[in-house]
Structure 1
Amino acid sequence: MQLTFTAPLWQWEMRSDSWWFVSVPQDLSDDLAALPLPPRGFGSIRVRVTVGSTTWSTSVFPSDREKCYVLPVKKAVRTKEGLTPDEPVSVALETVDV
Protein backbone atom coordinates (compact mmCIF):
# COMPACT_ATOMS: atom_id res chain seq x y z
CA MET A 1 0.00 0.00 0.00
CA GLN A 2 1.32 3.44 -0.91
CA LEU A 3 0.14 6.57 0.89
CA THR A 4 1.01 10.23 0.60
CA PHE A 5 0.00 12.94 3.04
CA THR A 6 1.08 16.16 4.69
CA ALA A 7 0.92 16.65 8.46
CA PRO A 8 2.82 18.65 11.09
CA LEU A 9 5.92 17.42 12.90
CA TRP A 10 5.32 17.15 16.66
CA GLN A 11 7.34 16.20 19.72
CA TRP A 12 6.28 13.53 22.22
CA GLU A 13 6.17 15.30 25.57
CA MET A 14 7.21 12.19 27.50
CA ARG A 15 10.61 12.06 25.77
CA SER A 16 11.27 15.59 24.59
CA ASP A 17 14.96 14.83 24.09
CA SER A 18 14.58 12.79 20.94
CA TRP A 19 11.10 11.52 19.99
CA TRP A 20 9.49 13.35 17.05
CA PHE A 21 6.52 12.15 15.00
CA VAL A 22 4.16 12.91 12.15
CA SER A 23 0.59 11.62 12.59
CA VAL A 24 -0.89 9.64 9.72
CA PRO A 25 -4.29 11.23 8.92
CA GLN A 26 -7.29 9.35 10.31
CA ASP A 27 -8.64 8.09 6.98
CA LEU A 28 -5.24 6.70 6.02
CA SER A 29 -4.75 5.27 9.52
CA ASP A 30 -8.05 3.45 9.06
CA ASP A 31 -6.67 1.96 5.81
CA LEU A 32 -3.52 0.84 7.67
CA ALA A 33 -5.58 -0.63 10.52
CA ALA A 34 -7.49 -2.77 8.01
CA LEU A 35 -4.29 -4.52 6.87
CA PRO A 36 -3.54 -7.97 8.26
CA LEU A 37 -0.95 -7.40 10.96
CA PRO A 38 2.22 -9.47 11.03
CA PRO A 39 3.23 -10.95 14.39
CA ARG A 40 5.13 -7.85 15.61
CA GLY A 41 4.77 -5.98 18.84
CA PHE A 42 2.54 -3.01 19.52
CA GLY A 43 0.56 -3.35 16.27
CA SER A 44 3.42 -1.76 14.33
CA ILE A 45 3.56 -1.88 10.54
CA ARG A 46 6.88 -1.83 8.68
CA VAL A 47 7.13 0.96 6.12
CA ARG A 48 9.52 2.63 3.73
CA VAL A 49 9.24 6.41 3.99
CA THR A 50 10.35 9.30 1.82
CA VAL A 51 10.47 12.88 3.05
CA GLY A 52 12.11 15.27 0.59
CA SER A 53 15.20 13.51 -0.78
CA THR A 54 15.53 11.16 2.21
CA THR A 55 14.21 7.58 2.21
CA TRP A 56 14.44 5.23 5.19
CA SER A 57 12.82 2.13 6.68
CA THR A 58 10.96 2.25 9.97
CA SER A 59 7.58 1.30 11.42
CA VAL A 60 4.39 3.23 12.10
CA PHE A 61 2.68 2.61 15.42
CA PRO A 62 -0.92 2.94 16.55
CA SER A 63 -1.27 5.70 19.13
CA ASP A 64 -4.14 5.61 21.61
CA ARG A 65 -3.50 9.25 22.45
CA GLU A 66 -3.47 10.46 18.84
CA LYS A 67 -6.16 7.96 17.71
CA CYS A 68 -4.16 7.21 14.56
CA TYR A 69 -0.86 5.73 13.43
CA VAL A 70 2.25 7.80 14.10
CA LEU A 71 5.48 7.92 12.11
CA PRO A 72 8.72 8.47 14.04
CA VAL A 73 11.07 10.92 12.32
CA LYS A 74 14.70 10.53 13.35
CA LYS A 75 17.03 13.46 13.94
CA ALA A 76 19.16 12.79 10.85
CA VAL A 77 16.07 13.18 8.65
CA ARG A 78 14.83 16.27 10.50
CA THR A 79 18.25 17.90 10.14
CA LYS A 80 18.87 16.95 6.49
CA GLU A 81 15.39 18.02 5.37
CA GLY A 82 15.25 21.15 7.55
CA LEU A 83 12.09 20.03 9.34
CA THR A 84 10.83 22.25 12.15
CA PRO A 85 8.26 21.64 14.90
CA ASP A 86 4.60 22.17 14.04
CA GLU A 87 5.39 22.78 10.35
CA PRO A 88 3.85 20.55 7.63
CA VAL A 89 5.85 17.57 6.41
CA SER A 90 5.06 15.93 3.06
CA VAL A 91 5.34 12.16 3.43
CA ALA A 92 5.31 9.26 0.98
CA LEU A 93 4.84 6.00 2.85
CA GLU A 94 4.85 2.46 1.50
CA THR A 95 4.03 -0.61 3.58
CA VAL A 96 6.43 -3.55 3.40
CA ASP A 97 6.07 -7.19 4.49
CA VAL A 98 2.29 -6.98 4.66
Structure 2
Amino acid sequence: MNETLAFRGPITRWHGEKAVYHVLTITDAVAEEITMHERLRRLEYGGRRGFGSVKVMATIGGSRWKTSVFPSKSGEWWLLVGKKVLKAEDLVAGDEAAVTLELL
Protein backbone atom coordinates (compact mmCIF):
# COMPACT_ATOMS: atom_id res chain seq x y z
CA MET A 1 0.00 0.00 0.00
CA ASN A 2 1.28 3.46 -0.87
CA GLU A 3 1.80 6.07 1.82
CA THR A 4 -0.20 9.31 1.62
CA LEU A 5 1.10 12.60 3.03
CA ALA A 6 -0.54 16.02 3.28
CA PHE A 7 0.89 19.50 3.75
CA ARG A 8 0.23 23.17 3.04
CA GLY A 9 2.70 25.64 1.63
CA PRO A 10 3.17 28.74 -0.48
CA ILE A 11 3.78 28.50 -4.21
CA THR A 12 7.13 30.03 -5.10
CA ARG A 13 8.14 31.31 -8.51
CA TRP A 14 11.65 30.24 -9.51
CA HIS A 15 13.51 31.49 -12.58
CA GLY A 16 15.63 28.77 -14.18
CA GLU A 17 18.05 29.20 -17.07
CA LYS A 18 15.44 28.37 -19.70
CA ALA A 19 12.07 28.76 -18.01
CA VAL A 20 10.07 29.94 -15.01
CA TYR A 21 8.90 27.23 -12.61
CA HIS A 22 6.34 27.21 -9.83
CA VAL A 23 7.47 25.16 -6.84
CA LEU A 24 6.09 24.02 -3.51
CA THR A 25 8.76 23.37 -0.88
CA ILE A 26 8.16 20.34 1.34
CA THR A 27 9.67 20.61 4.82
CA ASP A 28 9.60 19.16 8.33
CA ALA A 29 7.94 15.80 9.04
CA VAL A 30 6.60 15.37 5.49
CA ALA A 31 10.12 15.88 4.06
CA GLU A 32 11.49 13.34 6.54
CA GLU A 33 8.86 10.79 5.46
CA ILE A 34 9.79 11.25 1.80
CA THR A 35 13.50 10.92 2.63
CA MET A 36 12.87 7.67 4.49
CA HIS A 37 10.75 6.36 1.60
CA GLU A 38 13.56 7.18 -0.86
CA ARG A 39 16.17 5.43 1.30
CA LEU A 40 14.04 2.29 1.62
CA ARG A 41 13.41 2.21 -2.15
CA ARG A 42 17.16 2.63 -2.79
CA LEU A 43 17.92 -0.31 -0.48
CA GLU A 44 15.20 -2.43 -2.07
CA TYR A 45 16.18 -1.75 -5.69
CA GLY A 46 19.90 -1.12 -5.26
CA GLY A 47 20.01 2.35 -6.77
CA ARG A 48 18.55 5.83 -6.96
CA ARG A 49 16.20 7.37 -9.47
CA GLY A 50 17.41 10.38 -11.43
CA PHE A 51 18.46 13.28 -9.18
CA GLY A 52 17.33 11.20 -6.16
CA SER A 53 13.70 11.89 -7.06
CA VAL A 54 10.66 10.05 -5.71
CA LYS A 55 7.58 9.27 -7.83
CA VAL A 56 4.33 10.63 -6.43
CA MET A 57 0.69 11.14 -7.28
CA ALA A 58 0.02 14.77 -6.35
CA THR A 59 -3.35 16.37 -5.67
CA ILE A 60 -4.20 20.05 -5.29
CA GLY A 61 -7.91 20.78 -5.15
CA GLY A 62 -9.55 18.89 -8.03
CA SER A 63 -6.28 18.46 -9.95
CA ARG A 64 -4.42 15.15 -9.69
CA TRP A 65 -1.26 14.25 -11.59
CA LYS A 66 1.63 11.79 -11.56
CA THR A 67 5.01 13.48 -11.09
CA SER A 68 8.16 13.37 -8.97
CA VAL A 69 9.46 15.34 -6.02
CA PHE A 70 13.13 16.33 -5.95
CA PRO A 71 15.49 16.59 -2.96
CA SER A 72 17.41 19.72 -2.03
CA LYS A 73 20.79 19.74 -0.32
CA SER A 74 19.16 21.21 2.80
CA GLY A 75 16.82 18.23 3.33
CA GLU A 76 13.72 19.81 1.82
CA TRP A 77 11.91 18.41 -1.19
CA TRP A 78 10.47 20.32 -4.16
CA LEU A 79 7.24 19.70 -6.03
CA LEU A 80 6.93 21.43 -9.40
CA VAL A 81 3.43 22.70 -10.15
CA GLY A 82 2.56 23.08 -13.82
CA LYS A 83 0.65 25.90 -15.51
CA LYS A 84 -2.36 23.65 -16.12
CA VAL A 85 -2.73 22.98 -12.38
CA LEU A 86 -2.20 26.64 -11.47
CA LYS A 87 -4.88 27.70 -13.95
CA ALA A 88 -7.34 24.95 -13.00
CA GLU A 89 -7.01 25.75 -9.29
CA ASP A 90 -6.81 29.55 -9.77
CA LEU A 91 -3.41 29.78 -8.06
CA VAL A 92 -0.48 32.16 -8.51
CA ALA A 93 2.93 32.58 -6.91
CA GLY A 94 2.50 33.50 -3.25
CA ASP A 95 -0.77 31.59 -2.82
CA GLU A 96 -0.84 28.81 -0.25
CA ALA A 97 -1.90 25.41 -1.52
CA ALA A 98 -3.08 22.28 0.28
CA VAL A 99 -1.33 19.28 -1.23
CA THR A 100 -1.75 15.53 -0.90
CA LEU A 101 1.10 13.30 -2.06
CA GLU A 102 0.78 9.57 -2.56
CA LEU A 103 4.29 8.07 -2.54
CA LEU A 104 4.61 5.53 -5.36
Same fold at TM > 0.5: yes
In terms of Rg, which structure is larger? 2
Residue matched to 2:22: 20
Provide TM-score, normalisation by structure 2.
0.82
- 1:16-95 superposed matches below 5 A: 17-35=19-37, 36-38=40-42, 39-64=48-73, 67-95=75-103
Structure 2 residues without counterparts, runs of 5 or longer: 43-47
Deviations 1:17-74 (A, max 9, x none): 431110112221111111224531111000001101010000000022x640010000
Residue matched to 2:45: none
Structure 1 residues without counterparts, runs of 5 or longer: none
The alpha carbon displacement at 1:2 in A equals 0.6
- The CA RMSD over aligned residues, in Å, is 1.6
Provide TM-score, normalisation by structure 1.
0.87
Higher helix proportion: 2
Among all aligned residue pairs of Structure 1 and Structure 2, give the percentage whose two residues are the same amino acid.
Answer: 29
